[in-house]
Structure 1
Amino acid sequence: MVTLKQIATEVGVSIRTVSIALNGDPVAGRISETCVQQIQNVANKHGYQVSAAARAIRLKRTYHIGVLVRNSPNLPLIDPAAYETIMGINQQLEKAGYILNLIRYTDIDKQFASESRVFKERVLDGVISIGNIPPHCTQIITKAIKTCVWIDNNSDSLPNTVKRDEYTAGRLAAHHAIKLGYKNIYWIGGGIKEDGHHISVYKRLEGVTDRLEQAGIEFKNQKLPRWNPEIGPENLKEVFKPHNVFIAYNNEIATDVGQLATSMGYRIGRDFGLLCCEDSKYILDNWPGLSRVSFDRFMMGKTAADMMLKLLTDSEAHGNENRILPVRWIPGNTAWGPDCR
């Protein structure tokens, strides 16, 4: 079997550098990514295998980071957009030699008392949580895992958080509706501040209502048939008109409106306007012309992972960093203004 000395000789570095690159912490050891990659290529060529168990004992780290998602056995595909964020997390963790482990939040509640290896044994160096995790689960996590980063959590009291600027997302959509000349602006989506609802539901609505009030425009709320069976096509014909625009809370609602209107023979953008307060890879691939507010979910994952790595490797990190990611407007072609026929 090849030795560290042989690898060091072939690469042209010290044995210590090879040892850190293969068995230690290359980030803390201040070894460049190029050098680490070169050492790993030579080691792989000769069949060198790192002992993860030995490294964990020596460094007192497992090099495993848990990513907590809201999926459950009954709802395995509840948040597909989180995949974009997870990929961003994985890219940064992989560069630093860490392995990502997915954890469902329902498993914490059910298994913590008796079964969960993740929290009863020292399997993870840290946890990155995505979405609004219930407070009692948050308490379990923070009690068991010292280093945590929270993405899109409702709480304002947690340290090390990464959030979207939800208020500006709503305000930006309303601003462009006004700028386009629409006088009747309808909101489609939730808005009541209740337990279990994500903060984006009422923050986006707050942004919309504040901007409409500033412009002296009346706020209007529109329900869809899927929520209210008393609303039928005849009711929607009264609101699908050129001087009306709809601001959808999220992608799913915008898609529902689009499919419904198209099935009724309407031309979105000309016969009425449609704006959306969020974006996703699905929309980019399947409806790139949707007029919408966008932000980079992949970058959100990278930001959270960088925050985690800083907490793990920087002894001077205070552990109370909170980031709000900006949003941007994509004009699209689903809202041209009431006079553009």
Structure 2
Amino acid sequence: MNKKPNANLAKPKSPAMIDDSFGRKSIALKELSAYLELSQSTVSRVINGGAKAHRISEETQRRVLAAAAEFGYEANVIARSLRQKRTFTIGVLVPEISEGYSTAVLSGIEDALLKEGLFYFVASHRHHAELLEAYPRLLISRAVDGIIAVDTKVSENIPVPVVAISGHRHSQHMISVELDHRLAAHQALEHLQKLGHQRIAFIKGQAFSSDTSHRWKAIREVAGKLGITLYPDLVVQLRSADPSPEPGHLATQELINRKSPFTAIFSFNDVSAIGAITALREAGMQVPRDVSIVGFDDVLFAATSHPPLTTVRQPLRQMGQMAATTLLGLIQGDGRMAPGSVITVYSELVVRKSTARLSH
């Protein structure tokens, strides 16, 4: 004899709908959660992009999103902001948005913020003084909960939590994420020294970059310990804010025109190292047959350049993720890190085909 279906297993009735301020039909979180027979926190986490972080099953995510689409549910961000006194928005300051350093760091920031369901603004200042002054105020006027400053000097008077990446400005008002430049310099110089190079040329970073002076100080200290002579004629500096390889190209032309022999170049970043390779090729020199080159950062195209670039790898994506999660901790007041702290990250030498043993 067939049993009657259990009424308790029947699908719940469609939830009550309400009119929003535009006369559209919508549903509240409470009603949507009751309809799905899930907690409001579970439904909220799925809607706001936090399902992965809270290990909510894909089946549950599909159910929630399907019901939200069917009944026109949208998270009420304004209500959530008023309730928690937050806007769930982060401001990010970068020198420029181009292939290389900033893009890699931004990808890590994005990973962490999207995981927590946060929105973010990115402001590119190109090192213009007026924008460096105006953009933090502009972000604060947009009611951001905090700011991440990438290779950007910011004022100590910002009234929201700040995390700086490569800021090198230790302040009781912010947390800094910084590379151990002494280790990075040692990895590059020891590698070139073991290959027999002693007359090493250096392409310093632009004066406005936060990393330039700290990295150069580290290079001088490490060179002294390794017994490598720094020749003034073999030191040039990137001058333009252009994020392309052209500044590195021009700096290497300047080196070549000085007529002071060198067998290797340690360049401030991978982008300028690519420009250096082009300048050497135009002068009839081959890399690494005539000149070995070491870059810095290990951006995406470093492995596919011609030749593939030996470089000091910064954990750029990880630095972005660290900065974002640290900032969220400050905003939430978790007490794990206090303003004024410094988070140190470490480099890795990646040996490819742009360096070789000195043959003459």
Shorter-normalised TM range: 0.7 to 0.9
**Matches for 1:217-256 after TM superposition, within 5 Å:** 217-221=228-232, 222=234, 226=250, 235-236=258-259, 239=261, 244-256=263-275
Task: Tell me which residue corresponds to 2:81.
Answer: 56
Determine the C-alpha separation between the residues in 2 that align with 1:266 and 1:100. 46
Q: Identity over aligned residues, as a percent? A: 20
Q: Deviations over 1:139-163 (max 9, x none)?
A: 34x2x32x21111102123531111
Q: How far 1:230 moved relative to its partner?
A: 7.5
Determine the C-alpha separation between the residues in 2 that align with 1:117 and 1:219. 44
Please point out which of 286, 305, 309 is paired with 1:267.
286
Q: SS of 1:41's equivalent?
A: helix
C-alpha contact 1:21 1:31 (8 A) present in aligned 2: no
Q: Evaluate the alpha carbon distance shift between residue 318 and residue 172 of structure 1 in structure 2; reply closer, same or farther with a 3 A threshold.
A: closer
Q: Evaluate the alpha carbon distance shift between residue 39 and residue 334 of structure 1 in structure 2; reply closer, same or farther with a 3 A threshold.
A: same
**Matches for 1:197-236 after TM superposition, within 5 Å:** 197-221=208-232, 222=234, 226=250, 235-236=258-259
Q: Deviations over 1:74-100 (max 9, x none)?
A: xxx688521221121111111111001
Q: Evaluate the alpha carbon distance shift between residue 274 and residue 230 of structure 1 in structure 2; reply closer, same or farther with a 3 A threshold.
A: closer
Determine the C-alpha separation between the residues in 2 that align with 1:295 and 1:49. 40
Task: Tell me which residue corresponds to 1:335.
Answer: 355
Q: Evaluate the alpha carbon distance shift between residue 34 and residue 87 of structure 1 in structure 2; reply closer, same or farther with a 3 A threshold.
A: farther
Q: Evaluate the alpha carbon distance shift between residue 181 and residue 223 of structure 1 in structure 2; reply closer, same or farther with a 3 A threshold.
A: closer
Q: Evaluate the alpha carbon distance shift between residue 280 and residue 216 of structure 1 in structure 2; reply closer, same or farther with a 3 A threshold.
A: same
Larger Rg: 2
Task: Tell me which residue corresponds to 1:109.
Answer: 133
> How many residue pairs end up in the alignment?
313
**Matches for 1:305-316 after TM superposition, within 5 Å:** 305-316=324-335
Task: Tell me which residue corresponds to 1:119.
Answer: 140
Q: Deviations over 1:310-339 (max 9, x none)?
A: 222344334234211110001111111113
Task: Tell me which residue corresponds to 2:199.
Answer: 184
Task: Tell me which residue corresponds to 1:163.
Answer: 178
Determine the C-alpha separation between the residues in 2 that align with 1:95 and 1:61. 17
Shifted more, 84-93 versus 210-219: the winner is 210-219
Determine the C-alpha separation between the residues in 1 that align with 2:284 and 2:138. 55
Q: Deviations over 1:270-314 (max 9, x none)?
A: 122222233322424435711111122111111111111222234
**Matches for 1:260-299 after TM superposition, within 5 Å:** 260-287=279-306, 289-299=308-318
C-alpha contact 2:203 2:251 (8 A) present in aligned 1: no
Q: CA RMSD in A?
A: 3.4
Task: Tell me which residue corresponds to 1:154.
Answer: 168
Shifted more, 256-265 versus 318-327: the winner is 318-327
Residue ranges of structure 1 left out of the alignment (5+ in a row): 72-76
**Aligned AA for 2:123?**
I
C-alpha contact 2:309 2:353 (8 A) present in aligned 1: yes
Shifted more, 322-331 versus 282-291: the winner is 282-291
**Aligned AA for 1:174?**
L
Q: Deviations over 1:169-188 (max 9, x none)?
A: 22211010111122322323
C-alpha contact 2:310 2:355 (8 A) present in aligned 1: yes
Determine the C-alpha separation between the residues in 2 that align with 1:103 and 1:294. 26
Task: Tell me which residue corresponds to 1:18.
Answer: 43
Q: Evaluate the alpha carbon distance shift between residue 155 and residue 20 of structure 1 in structure 2; reply closer, same or farther with a 3 A threshold.
A: same
Q: Evaluate the alpha carbon distance shift between residue 118 and residue 214 of structure 1 in structure 2; reply closer, same or farther with a 3 A threshold.
A: closer
TM-score by length of 2: 0.74
Q: SS of 2:228's equivalent?
A: coil
**Aligned AA for 1:88?**
G
Task: Tell me which residue corresponds to 1:74.
Answer: none
Q: Evaluate the alpha carbon distance shift between residue 232 and residue 88 of structure 1 in structure 2; reply closer, same or farther with a 3 A threshold.
A: closer
Shifted more, 92-101 versus 10-19: the winner is 10-19
Q: Deviations over 1:89-133 (max 9, x none)?
A: 111111111001123454462478xxx553246x21111111132
Please point out which of 100, 104, 113 is paired with 1:93.
113
TM-score by length of 1: 0.78
Q: SS of 2:354's equivalent?
A: coil
C-alpha contact 1:172 1:329 (8 A) present in aligned 2: yes
